[in-house]
A and B are shown apart, each in its own frame.
Chain A
Amino acid sequence: MSFLDSLFDQAGETAGRFLEADVRLGVTGLRRAGKTVFTTAVVDNLLRAGRLPFLDVVASGRFQAARLRPQPDADVPRFAFEEHLATITAAQPDWPEPTTGISQLRLAIRYRPNSALRRTLQSVATVNLDIVDYPGEWLLDLPMLRQSFAEWSALSLELAARSPRDALSVDWRGWLSAIDPAGPDEEEEARRGAALYTEYLHACRRAESFLSIIQPGRFVEPGDLKDAPLLTFCPLPGERRGRGTLWALMESRYEAYKSSVVRRFFAEHFARLNRQVVLIDVLGALNAGVSGLGDMKRALEMSLEPFRHGSSGWLDWLFGSKIDRVLFAATKADHIASSQHPNLKGILDSLVAEARRTIRFEGAQVETMALASLKCTETVVTEHEGRTLRCIQGVPVGRDRPTVLYPGEIPDGADAMTVARNRSYRFMPFRPPADAGRDGRGLPHVRLDQALQFLLGDYLE
């Protein structure tokens, strides 16, 4: 390690530092979308560079090496790349735990520039890639920045009263109907309400039907804020009340949450993004049927609205972000046979059509793709009742033996909603492949190299 590292450093020293570029890649996604696995796979594949035929810098032989470097923000925990990789490639392979806090990693990529002119200036150039990982739950805090307490309360209450959430929120709504928002601001009452609301959010997260909208994110993934008074509020019905009331207390905490938690998080980690990949677990939502997909669609719209790029986007106005490429990726494409990937992409296209139009209108490039950060299955063909079916073969989570699964066919050119209606899919979670990464070429994937080419290709020219 030290030898290679010193070689790497030497190359960097002789090259000088003036052609060094920093890229901040935002890996965005709702909870369980696959951010942590994506980040781990990206880093491992760039370090080993053995499975990236569609990444031009590698394919053309200009890639030299990639190394992990000290990250720029010293106050943010480091992304536990080694641990995640060890979990995935262990003898008993497993998935990383759901993320509970923010973390960051810097990867330096050294390559030979393509243009002769740049090469005469500097034979070796460096790109520093910074990636931030965080719990997906926090993403949905973003739209709150623009909502007042009253607006947010109204929306949340309406949502909670609708199926399938109505059953989960019974206790909390019972409490709501018993209290008076205009009553005195008793800490005891506030704590009780917040606890019931948090319980309801946890129930949403556990729910059978895949529910995406869970606000505020810190209630279920508090990070370093566990039990802080900032987290003791909940939506209240009715209009604004005067000073000293329960309403006023909750409103002030809501505002404090916005300014010292949400705003800080996004100012520190989203403001300086150059590139953005939005991971979407389309298959998970399809599994859950119409309600799951509808919920995800709304959550997506909510979380993407602030990312409107350019002049009219308010995140932009707020933080001065300058994202010029956005990739929407349907993750876990290895849950279906490869012949189905175009159809999966079709559903993704219809899901993000609107966001895509806006972003493109603002001048950023947009691309959609079906990918798998870690390919856990093989596509196989088998006969069933005289028909040839394209299926997938892999080891499901919780089992030891491989199975062949026919999860159901996604029709082509269909709107996402009509697909989910009346169809029951069964996309199973699979275990990471037993020999992942053994060949030293990097974790196996589907189209991760094409994603990287779109996101970073021009930086590596």
Chain B
Amino acid sequence: MEWIPPMELDPARAVPAPRVPEPAPPPPPFEAEPDAAMPEAEFIPPVAGPAPRSPLLRWLVGAVALLILVAVGFDTADLMNRAFATSMALGVVVALVAGVAGITTIALLLRELRSLKRLRRIEELRGESRKLSHTMELGRADRFAGALTRLYTDRPDLELDLARLKDVVTDAHDDAEVVRLIDREVLTGLDRRAYQTVLRASRDTALATALSPAALLDIAVVLWRNLRLVREIATLYGARPGYVGSLRLLRRMLGNIAVAGVTESAHHVAVDALGGSLAAAISTRVGQGVINGLLTARIGLAAMHTCRPVPFTPDTRPSLGRIRAELLSLPKQVL
């Protein structure tokens, strides 16, 4: 490095080193950037990214979709012709209905696309934050904080937290510190709420299983409740997933469950439930309920791991502990 001698400069030409929030465009996808500063050993592979899909499959899906679209188009046109042939009034009605159907489909698609984009942005943020937590450099965290602030701009419940974040971040914090501050000031509050949501959901499924009269019914209830839980948590962290998004989220979560160490084997779950309370062993229904509750809790925690813009640290990682205690006290309440 070349030595530049100390000197005083003109204050009029200096600009403050940038800080949150800043109006730059969202960060480019992270993987694309080469980064020499990061030692190989420090690198943690991104947690279960979308599985690589074969191009053949993509062609197939595209072609089939197009076929269906064309078929539906022909059918609709056909239908309309026949309706108009029958009577003018019927024709108008059918045309209107077809129009409404078309427009809502397009709107739905758009919404899906937007929500997918949000999901992708969170994924990018995770990658970026993981990288930033290892540096003592400056500057890139600004973009990160900016992107995160934008993600949460239309959230009145986070307004206070974001304002506080802006207050506490100074020009003296390095990138890792800024990410830690975001984690503490904004995300811990969300974590608490998400944890409560998980707790509620797992209690719901446990109770539903224990009390439901038919096995099929409780499977349906549990499935529906788990899906809702995942969407609730994703929405809380700013992902707001649509249907496609939820599916994608579920797929990523399945990959995540192992990595995040959230789940243990089913055997373990049973031991959790039965070992902790004799009462559970007495009533299989209630025991089943506890097991289902624990599964829901695991799914919820995995959703938290997947949707959080900054990965959990060992200190902030949510634990099953409280949920487990709560669920294991359930048999006593029910019996």
Residues of A within 8 A of B (CB): 51, 53-54, 59-60, 333-334, 337-339, 341-342, 372, 375, 378-384, 387, 389-391, 393, 401-409, 411, 423-426, 441, 444, 446-447
Residue of chain A at shortest CB distance from B184: A59
Determine if A338 and B173 form an interchain contact, defined as CB atoms under 8 angstroms apart.
yes
With A338-B172, A342-B174, A379-B172 in contact, do A405 and B136 touch (Cβ < 8 Å)?
no
Determine if B171 and A411 form an interchain contact, defined as CB atoms under 8 angstroms apart.
no
Instruction: Give complex CA distance A54, B171 in Å.
Output: 16
Residues in B with CB closer than 8 Å to A406 are: 4, 6-9
Instruction: Give complex CA distance A406, B10 in Å.
Output: 11
Residues in A with CB closer than 8 Å to B10 are: 382, 404
Residue of chain A at shortest CB distance from B189: A61
A268 to chain B: closest CB distance in Å? Answer: 37
Determine if B172 and A389 form an interchain contact, defined as CB atoms under 8 angstroms apart.
no
Ranked nearest first, the 8 interchain pairs of A and B with the lowest CB-CB distance are: A426-B6, A380-B14, A382-B14, A342-B136, A53-B168, A446-B172, A408-B6, A404-B9
Residues in A with CB closer than 8 Å to B177 are: 54
Q: How many residues of B contact A (CB 8 A)?
A: 31
With A380-B17, A382-B14, A406-B9 in contact, do A389 and B168 touch (Cβ < 8 Å)?
no
Determine if A391 and B9 form an interchain contact, defined as CB atoms under 8 angstroms apart.
yes
A187 to chain B: closest CB distance in Å? Answer: 51
Residues in B with CB closer than 8 Å to A425 are: 6
B322 to chain A: closest CB distance in Å? Answer: 10
Residue of chain B at shortest CB distance from A446: B172
Residue contacts A-B, CB under 8 angstroms, 27 given: A51-B168, A54-B177, A59-B188, A60-B188, A333-B172, A372-B172, A375-B170, A378-B17, A379-B171, A380-B14, A380-B16, A381-B15, A382-B10, A382-B13, A387-B4, A393-B11, A404-B9, A404-B10, A405-B9, A408-B6, A409-B4, A411-B1, A423-B3, A424-B6, A425-B6, A426-B6, A446-B170
Instruction: Give complex CA distance A378, B174 in Å.
Output: 14
Residues in A with CB closer than 8 Å to B173 are: 338
Determine if A379 and B17 form an interchain contact, defined as CB atoms under 8 angstroms apart.
yes
Instruction: Give complex CA distance A387, B7 in Å.
Output: 14
- B5 in the interface, Cβ–Cβ < 8 Å? yes
Q: Of B137, B171, B185, which is within 8 A of A378 by CB?
A: B171
Residues in B with CB closer than 8 Å to A372 are: 172
Residues in A with CB closer than 8 Å to B9 are: 382, 384, 389, 391, 404-406
Instruction: Give complex CA distance A309, B10 in Å.
Output: 50
Determine if A375 and B15 form an interchain contact, defined as CB atoms under 8 angstroms apart.
no
Instruction: Give complex CA distance A53, B9 in Å.
Output: 33
Chain B stretch 152-208: residues in CB contact (< 8 A) with chain A: 167-168, 170-174, 177, 180-181, 184-185, 188
B33 to chain A: closest CB distance in Å? Answer: 20
- B138 in the interface, Cβ–Cβ < 8 Å? yes
Determine if B171 and A338 form an interchain contact, defined as CB atoms under 8 angstroms apart.
yes
Residue of chain B at shortest CB distance from A333: B172
Instruction: Give complex CA distance A407, B5 in Å.
Output: 8
With A338-B173, A341-B174 in contact, do A407 and B6 touch (Cβ < 8 Å)?
yes
Instruction: Give complex CA distance A441, B168 in Å.
Output: 10
Residues in B with CB closer than 8 Å to A379 are: 16-17, 171-172
Chain B stretch 111-163: residues in CB contact (< 8 A) with chain A: 136-138
Residue of chain A at shortest CB distance from B11: A404
Determine if A408 and B4 form an interchain contact, defined as CB atoms under 8 angstroms apart.
yes
14 A-B pairs besides A382-B10, A383-B13, A391-B9 with CB distance below 8 A are: A54-B181, A333-B172, A339-B137, A339-B174, A342-B174, A375-B170, A378-B171, A380-B15, A390-B17, A404-B9, A406-B8, A408-B4, A423-B3, A425-B6
A313 to chain B: closest CB distance in Å? Answer: 32
A401 to chain B: closest CB distance in Å? Answer: 8
Residue of chain B at shortest CB distance from A403: B8
Residues in B with CB closer than 8 Å to A380 are: 14-17
B56 to chain A: closest CB distance in Å? Answer: 50
A424 to chain B: closest CB distance in Å? Answer: 7
Residues in A with CB closer than 8 Å to B1 are: 409, 411
B143 to chain A: closest CB distance in Å? Answer: 16
Determine if B8 and A405 form an interchain contact, defined as CB atoms under 8 angstroms apart.
yes
Residues in B with CB closer than 8 Å to A383 are: 13
Instruction: Give complex CA distance A447, B171 in Å.
Output: 12
Residues in A with CB closer than 8 Å to B171 are: 338, 378-379
Instruction: Give complex CA distance A254, B170 in Å.
Output: 50
Residues in A with CB closer than 8 Å to B13 are: 382-383, 404
B182 to chain A: closest CB distance in Å? Answer: 10
Most buried by B among A53, A391, A423: A53
Residues in B with CB closer than 8 Å to A423 are: 3
Instruction: Give complex CA distance A53, B136 in Å.
Output: 18
With A338-B17, A446-B172 in contact, do A53 and B5 touch (Cβ < 8 Å)?
no
Instruction: Give complex CA distance A375, B170 in Å.
Output: 10
Residues in B with CB closer than 8 Å to A339 are: 137-138, 174
A446 to chain B: closest CB distance in Å? Answer: 4
A425 to chain B: closest CB distance in Å? Answer: 6
Determine if B5 and A404 form an interchain contact, defined as CB atoms under 8 angstroms apart.
no
Determine if B11 and A402 form an interchain contact, defined as CB atoms under 8 angstroms apart.
yes
Determine if A53 and B16 form an interchain contact, defined as CB atoms under 8 angstroms apart.
no
Determine if B6 and A378 form an interchain contact, defined as CB atoms under 8 angstroms apart.
no
A120 to chain B: closest CB distance in Å? Answer: 15
Residue of chain A at shortest CB distance from B135: A342
Determine if B7 and A381 form an interchain contact, defined as CB atoms under 8 angstroms apart.
no
Instruction: Give complex CA distance A424, B9 in Å.
Output: 17
Determine if A403 and B11 form an interchain contact, defined as CB atoms under 8 angstroms apart.
yes
Residue of chain A at shortest CB distance from B165: A53
With A338-B138, A381-B15 in contact, do A404 and B8 touch (Cβ < 8 Å)?
yes
Instruction: Give complex CA distance A424, B3 in Å.
Output: 10
Chain B stretch 1-46: residues in CB contact (< 8 A) with chain A: 1, 3-11, 13-17
Q: Of B17, B138, B172, B188, which is within 8 A of A447 by CB?
A: B172
Most buried by A among B1, B3, B8, B180: B8
Instruction: Give complex CA distance A407, B4 in Å.
Output: 9
Residue of chain B at shortest CB distance from A408: B6
Instruction: Give complex CA distance A406, B138 in Å.
Output: 17
A61 to chain B: closest CB distance in Å? Answer: 10
With A391-B9, A402-B11, A408-B5 in contact, do A341 and B168 touch (Cβ < 8 Å)?
no
A286 to chain B: closest CB distance in Å? Answer: 11
Determine if B174 and A381 form an interchain contact, defined as CB atoms under 8 angstroms apart.
no
Determine if A424 and B5 form an interchain contact, defined as CB atoms under 8 angstroms apart.
yes
Determine if B17 and A334 form an interchain contact, defined as CB atoms under 8 angstroms apart.
no
B330 to chain A: closest CB distance in Å? Answer: 20
Determine if B3 and A341 form an interchain contact, defined as CB atoms under 8 angstroms apart.
no
Instruction: Give complex CA distance A384, B136 in Å.
Output: 25
A63 to chain B: closest CB distance in Å? Answer: 14
Residues in B with CB closer than 8 Å to A59 are: 184-185, 188
Most buried by A among B9, B136, B181, B184: B9
Residues in A with CB closer than 8 Å to B15 are: 380-382
Determine if B170 and A404 form an interchain contact, defined as CB atoms under 8 angstroms apart.
no
B113 to chain A: closest CB distance in Å? Answer: 37
Instruction: Give complex CA distance A387, B9 in Å.
Output: 13
B49 to chain A: closest CB distance in Å? Answer: 31
Residues in B with CB closer than 8 Å to A378 are: 16-17, 171
Residue of chain B at shortest CB distance from A383: B13
Residue of chain B at shortest CB distance from A380: B14
